[in-house]
Structure 1
Amino acid sequence: MPNARPACLRYSVLALAVVLAAGLPQDADAAKKKKKAQPTVTACTDFYTFTNKDWLAANVIVEGTGSVSVLGQLRDLAQQQQRDLLDSAMQAPQNHVQKLLGDFWASGLDVAAVEADGAQPIAPLLSRIDGIRRDKDIPPAIAALHQVGIPVLFQFTPDVDLANLDRHIGYFTQGGLGLTDPTYYTRADPDTQALLGRYKDYVEKILVLTGTPVDKAAAQAQQVIDIETRIANASRPLSLMRDPRNNYALVETATLGKSYRHLQLDDFLAAQAVKDDVVSLANPALFTELDAMVDKIKPDQWKAYLRFHVGNAMAPYLSKSFRDADFEFRGRVLRGETVQPPRDQLVLDAINLAAGPMLAREYVSRYLPATTVSRAESIAGEVRDALSAAVDRSTWMSEPAKAEARAKLGKLKIEVGRPKRDLDYSVQPMGRGSFGGNMLIASTWRHREEMKRIGNANASRRWDVLAQQPALAYDMAHNRLIVSAAVLQPPVLDMTKNAASHYGSFGALVGHELGRSVDAKGKYIDAAGELKTWWTPADDTAWSLRIAPLVAQYSAYPFPGLREVKVNGNQTQEENAADLAGVELAWDALVASQPELPEESKQAFFDGWARLWPQQMTEEEATRRAAVAVHAPGQWRANGPLVNLPAFGEAYGCKAGTAMQAKPGQQVGIWR
């Protein structure tokens, strides 16, 4: 939906209009008086604004967007780097993977070729569906669609085995719906019913585009929705699905053929080249219902369902009639968008979805120097050591918990750039004539490589993010820090700046994440990688008491851009604590590496931290975030931790009791 113009911009425009209407310049003396009346922002009154004043003045919100931020600009930079890489691969590929990527990119940018291609890319899939005659033909068709990356009826994906976190198993879980929430099919309120009506119109359009006669489209659309409603009724609420334990129940694969005879799940696994002895199937009632549906629902109704889901999955990558239908429902109705994304953005998103690991390999090679990797690994290792030292001297952590924390930190791994994972890049040649065809080729390749993970003790060789996406995260299941190639750029790691600033920016973010390994989140997985709570009740109590004052601190901060709205200190408490811990640990790491820090380096550290967080938001976006965001606004992510650090007050000469330096008895500490 359209975003409101920022309040500051509206006021500026109004002031300018008044001056122009008067036809006279502003009175110079009055302007001077007004300027004198405004308090001067200093490091000790508002470090965020003091540090970022130039950025805040230069960056305004573009109409149609809700916010702009430094980290958002980093994401935009990474995407532009990907475009530049793909342009080079299109014009002069240097290897086999670049040839694939270059052809994929070129085929997507050639709009005329996409229009001429029409629905041809999905014609073989539709022909396969049209060949269904009996109920026993349905499961092979379902398996074939999963193979090309179009999961119908249910989801089947690899994920870690909760009983052995280094191993991947296959998970049979709910899916097969065109709407995102099963309750959309079952609620009777007017808004939901209206949405279901809009969805039915969309289903009709896609069916017509995939070959259904116009006079039969309405009836077939209802048949599709009837199947999806039965699936929805047997599905669990999304709230339950967020807990991995609710999705975990091991079943021997040898029993699947007998338990779900009509679904032919044993043959399904064979089609995906999965040979493991067990899978997870945590909702047997759903799969019993699906099995009965295959037996009882007539093949023609299944054909309508499968045809729609092929068209629905591929609509963004086909001709304009498909794209327009997809955008009118999924873009406007479901996501609230007002304009379709630029062509190059749509193509880039498609490549990341279907061939993301290919692009990751080339991105790292092009944009991540070895010197940057070495610097990142060094700082991350020092922050880990600082956390280990902090655990040793902790006054709130029990001795048993300290012992487990030391063991866990001793095993913690740091992975920078991209995952250490071998992939088979042999793929059917793409060519430049069919973007939709290339999408299916790439999706088939990625599905094949994903299925290879099942049954192998190689979970630690996979990341849940792509190297070309800015990301820095602690992977709790495998006790490792993941640092993507794309995040190792300004403002997170600016190799041209004072070395101390690297600790304040990159190092503090590392500390934010590594603290998770031994805090109230990390307590659920022990050093052996087992799901086991290793904190004592006394540790839980001590932690809660330690971070409780942050609620009051942040709740006193006004939410930027909103009147009479404060930050929700309870809602943001966990992340506020992690920010404070991160800055504490990064400072300790810096001091350990440079015991005789010059004043400019001390200030460079805090400057590096504050420059991560500048942002501007519309009033509408600020209202939304105030209600749901678990992070404080950028101003308080920058200032909030520093208020509690004596080292900040010393670096800038801020007296205790001022806005940027709490009195010693009021300062909150996690690891100091």
Structure 2
Amino acid sequence: MTKIHAVVIVALLASCTTSTVLAQTRGQPEIEPFGFDIAGMDRTVVPGTDFYRYANGAWAHATPIPADKSNYGMFTRLDDLNRERVKGILEAARKDPHGKAGAAYAAFLDEAALDAKGLAPARPWLDRIDAIATREDYARLAAQAAREGVSVPFEVVVTQDDRDPDAYVLKLGQAGLGLPDRDYYLRPDASMAQARVAYRDHVARLLALSGVAAQDASRRADALLRMETDIAKVSWNRVDSRDAGKTYNRRTRAQLASLAMGFDMGGFLDGIGARANDLVVVQPSAVAGIASVVGAAPLPVLKDAMRVAVLDAYGDVLPRAFAEERFAFHDRLLGGAEQPEPRWKRAVAFAVDAVPDEVGKAYVARYFPAGHKAAAEALVRNLLAAMDRRIQALDWMTPETKARARAKLAAFHPKVGYPDRWRDYGGLEIRPDDAFGDQLRARSFAFDREMNKLGHPFDRDEWRVTPMTVDAFANFSAVEIVIPAAILQPPFFDPDADPAINYGGIGASIAHEITHQFDDQGSKYDEHGRLATWWTPSDLTGFETRTKALARQYDAYRPLPDLNVNGALTLGENIADLGGLVIAYDAWRLSLEGKPAPTLEGFSGNQRFFLGWAQIWRLNYRDADLRKRLLTNPHAPAAQRVWTSRNIDAWYEAFDVKPGQALYLSPERRVRIW
């Protein structure tokens, strides 16, 4: 299922006062000796042969993937740390009779109570599905499912309007697939065929667990898989689905009803509370095709699809057999994990999903020093200044477009650490003895809150992620970047680390997010966040020539014997990695104020900068997870992200990379965009 993203995930920002912040007297860095783990290197590898293994090979060899994970690296390490911290917050919150986070946490932990209740909490849902007698009934119940976190057969979100950034708009797009992507249904190779068989068996087991006789469940699973295969055939691929121009299609309700013949779109929109007369249809031909498939499908098959989707979506708050089935398919088969995460870790995620700002407020108060926010904001200013210099110096961009690009840069709205205003959950009921109901009510509460934004001005101060999120983001329409508190930790950022490491780590990550606003999709948004053409034709030609060369470079990488990186799917992230790295390098050099960088432990400043970049991408994958990522994820795998450095002249000089080495590119073949 292709998701409609209200925000676009990328990496972070910066400007010119960072040098003073990072040049202050430093203490002992968390990662010794200077913020980089030298012991994790494999110095038997020549940097020009495989810079990822040179920087990270010993770490990769010595670091097993935990049994409950599909992959493990720097992001997952910080996520584990943050969940331990949030666990402490939630354990204390359980004693607060008025708090909702502690109650949600306690409800999820009480697995014995969930087993004792059996299917009773889900029975009202299953009864409503059984009561569907007409296609109009189905459409109305599909709307209720959408309110409660189940996207069948269409996904809807409220987000900023790409053509009118001061307003909200409702977006409707394709959904209805139980496997991660259309390719899982359509590719003929053996691994995808195995996934289809496993999914069919998963559906049959869920139906059997809900009370369907085993033989009947098997037959019904076959019928459901056939219908979803038909949906996959009309669904857009991920490359087209990330195209900002192709996916902005304004339609009135009447036009959408004509487009989606076979599905009661009016009843569905009324059911979700959509009051506006028009909306954006993300994949029009897919919406039409899915409506046709749904209109032709037997009603019992549609009912089974909804039944399976609900049981899958709520599997962790049903009896143990449902949670085990959910893990066996989604995490073990598709992700390669060997065992489920401990219950407490899932309880932490459950509580955060239910009342994110209640948890986030407590997290920030306990774990995010004010100095970290100030240092990161200064770094953002430095990086923005470096990007401005880059734009001014471009030899392929006309003065007219440069002026607009600089205006867009000046309009940036960086958000660092946490929001200035926390959400209120006064109207949400959370009970310590009703995990299923808590999840249902929390999802409905969040959905209705989003729908109520329609007709109101866009709130530019709102955060759409929590401070505990180990990532960073760019929102094109808001011309903003978001850097949550949780990523401002080692190895990404340490005020006591060598500045070259910080610039190569968090600096390149922030600059990645800056560059996202000018990548193959972000560049389609002007300084007001409006989807518009603001480049001259010659600039567009020059830009596309360079980005196509980068796509070809990544197409040539083959992380699995039978599967290569999709250069078109990963293009935006690869542009941002390349731009982020050169911008961060410039900002670091500027921060030296003309002085030479010291040599530390035998490593030059230039070497430390690129090692800082390589260190944040330490990541081991299970094959199943890597395969899924190559098919569905807009990011290239970790090693290939590290290899971005092969396009930068300073990397060649730092590590004496020579012709004949695997990563060597002659100067004319190095991709230079920003």
Is the TM-score greater than 0.5? Answer: yes
1:489-528 aligned within 5 A: 489-498=489-498, 501-518=501-518, 522-528=522-528
Q: How well do the aligned residues superpose, as a CA RMSD in angstroms? A: 5.1
Q: Kindly indicate whether residue 650 of structure 2 is the aligned counterpart of residue 644 of structure 1.
A: yes
Deviation at 1:170, TM superposition (A): 1.7
**Counterpart-to-counterpart distance in 2, 1:596 and 1:555:** 39
Q: Kindly indicate whether residue 451 of structure 2 is the aligned counterpart of residue 447 of structure 1.
A: no
**Counterpart-to-counterpart distance in 1, 2:595 and 2:274:** 57
Contact 1:644 1:662 in 2 (8 A): no
Stretch moving more, 324-333 or 193-202:
193-202
Aligned equivalent of 1:154: 154
Say if 1:600 and 1:172 are closer, same or farther in 2 by CA, change over 3 A.
Answer: same
**Secondary structure of the equivalent of 1:164?**
coil
Stretch moving more, 486-495 or 227-236:
227-236
**Counterpart-to-counterpart distance in 2, 1:622 and 1:213:** 33
Deviation at 1:489, TM superposition (A): 0.9
- Structure 1 residues 497-532: Cα deviation after superposition (integer angstroms, max 9, x where no partner): 355653343223222332343465543222243333
Aligned equivalent of 2:276: 276
Aligned equivalent of 2:292: 289
Q: 1:630 aligns with which of 627, 631, 636?
A: 636
1:595-634 aligned within 5 A: 595=593, 597=595, 599-600=597-598, 607=608, 609-614=610-615, 615=618, 617=620, 630=636, 633=639
Deviation at 1:494, TM superposition (A): 0.5
**Counterpart-to-counterpart distance in 2, 1:255 and 1:419:** 39
**Counterpart-to-counterpart distance in 2, 1:57 and 1:322:** 35
Contact 1:386 1:589 in 2 (8 A): yes
**Secondary structure of the equivalent of 1:477?**
coil
Q: Kindly indicate whether residue 345 of structure 2 is the aligned counterpart of residue 341 of structure 1.
A: no
Contact 2:206 2:322 in 1 (8 A): yes
1:21-36 aligned within 5 A: none
- Structure 1 residues 291-334: Cα deviation after superposition (integer angstroms, max 9, x where no partner): 845xx955x66544443332232223211222233334334444
Deviation at 1:496, TM superposition (A): 2.5
Aligned equivalent of 1:209: 209
**Counterpart-to-counterpart distance in 1, 2:80 and 2:434:** 27
Aligned equivalent of 1:389: 389
**Secondary structure of the equivalent of 1:158?**
strand
1:346-361 aligned within 5 A: 346-361=346-361
**Secondary structure of the equivalent of 1:163?**
coil
Contact 2:106 2:432 in 1 (8 A): yes
Say if 1:612 and 1:86 are closer, same or farther in 2 by CA, change over 3 A.
Answer: farther
Aligned equivalent of 2:408: 408
**Counterpart-to-counterpart distance in 1, 2:186 and 2:669:** 51
**Counterpart-to-counterpart distance in 1, 2:641 and 2:301:** 56
Q: Which has the higher helix share?
A: 1
Stretch moving more, 411-420 or 599-608:
599-608
Aligned equivalent of 1:81: 85
- TM-score scaled by length of structure 1: 0.74
Deviation at 1:413, TM superposition (A): 1.5
Deviation at 1:253, TM superposition (A): 3.3
Aligned equivalent of 1:484: 484
Structure with larger RCO (C-alpha < 8 A, sep 6+): 2
Instruction: Note the residue ranges of structure 2 that are not aligned, 5 or more in a row.
Output: 1-41
Say if 1:160 and 1:103 are closer, same or farther in 2 by CA, change over 3 A.
Answer: same
- TM-score scaled by length of structure 2: 0.74
Deviation at 1:420, TM superposition (A): 5.9
**Secondary structure of the equivalent of 1:395?**
coil
**Counterpart-to-counterpart distance in 1, 2:619 and 2:114:** 38
1:62-461 aligned within 5 A: 68-90=72-94, 92-93=95-96, 99-133=99-133, 136-181=136-181, 198-213=198-213, 216-218=216-218, 220-221=220-221, 224-225=224-225, 228=228, 231=231, 235-236=235-236, 240-253=240-253, 264-281=264-281, 282-283=284-285, 285-286=288-289, 289=292, 292=295, 297=298, 303-418=303-418, 423-458=423-458, 460-461=460-461
Say if 1:135 and 1:519 are closer, same or farther in 2 by CA, change over 3 A.
Answer: closer
Contact 1:206 1:325 in 2 (8 A): yes
Stretch moving more, 170-179 or 495-504:
495-504
- Structure 1 residues 83-108: Cα deviation after superposition (integer angstroms, max 9, x where no partner): 33333323x44x95xx2111211222
Contact 1:48 1:638 in 2 (8 A): no
Stretch moving more, 373-382 or 512-521:
512-521
Say if 1:171 and 1:46 are closer, same or farther in 2 by CA, change over 3 A.
Answer: closer
Aligned partner of 1:389: which letter?
R
Deviation at 1:459, TM superposition (A): 6.4
Residues paired across the two proteins, number: 621
**Secondary structure of the equivalent of 2:614?**
coil
Deviation at 1:406, TM superposition (A): 1.5
Contact 1:391 1:402 in 2 (8 A): yes
Say if 1:257 and 1:61 are closer, same or farther in 2 by CA, change over 3 A.
Answer: closer
Aligned partner of 2:580: which letter?
G
Aligned equivalent of 1:34: none
Contact 1:583 1:641 in 2 (8 A): no
**Counterpart-to-counterpart distance in 2, 1:192 and 1:493:** 40
**Counterpart-to-counterpart distance in 2, 1:219 and 1:555:** 41
- Structure 1 residues 337-382: Cα deviation after superposition (integer angstroms, max 9, x where no partner): 4433332333344445554455444433433222211111111012
Say if 1:113 and 1:352 are closer, same or farther in 2 by CA, change over 3 A.
Answer: same
- Structure 1 residues 125-147: Cα deviation after superposition (integer angstroms, max 9, x where no partner): 22333444555543333332222
Q: 1:586 aligns with which of 579, 584, 587?
A: 584
Stretch moving more, 206-215 or 574-583:
574-583
Aligned equivalent of 1:22: none
Percent identity, please.
27
Aligned equivalent of 1:33: none
Aligned partner of 1:70: which letter?
M
Deviation at 1:252, TM superposition (A): 2.4
Contact 2:519 2:576 in 1 (8 A): no
**Secondary structure of the equivalent of 1:478?**
coil
